[in-house]
Homo-oligomer: A and B are copies of this chain.
Amino acid sequence: MPDDEGHPSVDEMQLGNVLSALSDPLRRRVIRELSLAPVGCERTCASFELPVSKATTTHHFKVMRESGLIRQVNRGNSRAAQLRIDDIENRFPGLLDMIRSEQGMTK
């Protein structure tokens, strides 16, 4: 059972949810940026400057959080998002590499 913030444990991660989460270009862009940053990097939702409204941004981060791709922790004022690198790599080896090396996302 996911914790009260919606994070599934490693074992609770479902391939279907992960693939659905990653089928959206904006979410893939977020995961890509996180996976390209130094390990342990933390970023706020807003820092990605997605070309959508605040409400939609929240929605996307919720999908990523509930699929297990990211962890969001309260940092007083804001919520820091971090990639669950080890969990993803354990359950779905190679997946992050695919996202990282996606073509046409150079921007």
Binding site for B on A (CB under 8 A): 14-16, 19-20, 22-23, 25, 28, 92-95, 97-99, 102-104
Are the C-beta atoms of B25 and A23 separated by less than 8 Å?
A: no
Residues of chain B within 8 A (CB-CB) of A25 are: 16
Task: State how many copies of this chain the complex holds.
Answer: 2
Name the prevailing secondary structure of the A interface residues: helix
Given the complex of chains A and B, what is the CA–CA distance between A14 and B95 in angstroms?
A: 14
A92 to B94, alpha carbons, bound, how many Å? 8
Q: What are 9 A-B residue pairs whose CB atoms fall within 8 Å in the complex? A: A14-B103, A15-B102, A16-B25, A19-B23, A23-B23, A94-B94, A94-B95, A95-B95, A95-B98
Distance in angstroms between the alpha carbons of A98 and B25 in the assembled complex: 21
